[in-house]
Amino acid sequence: MPSEAEQYGKASTPKRRIGFFSGLILFIDKANKDEVVLIDASGLGEKIKDGKNQKTILFRAEEQKI
pLDDT band of residue 4 (cuts 50, 70, 90) is low
For the chain, the structural domain boundaries read 4-65
Closest CA relative to residue 55, chosen from 42, 45, 66: 45
Instruction: Give the pLDDT of residue 29.
Output: 77
pLDDT in tens, 26-46: 777 778 778 877 777 878 888
Q: What is the mean pLDDT of residues 11-33?
A: 62
Q: What is the dihedral of CA 48, 53, 59, 63, to 10 degrees?
A: 160
State the pTM of this model. 0.44
Instruction: Give the pLDDT of residue 18.
Output: 47
| Range ranked top by mean pLDDT from 4-13, 33-42, 43-52 | 43-52
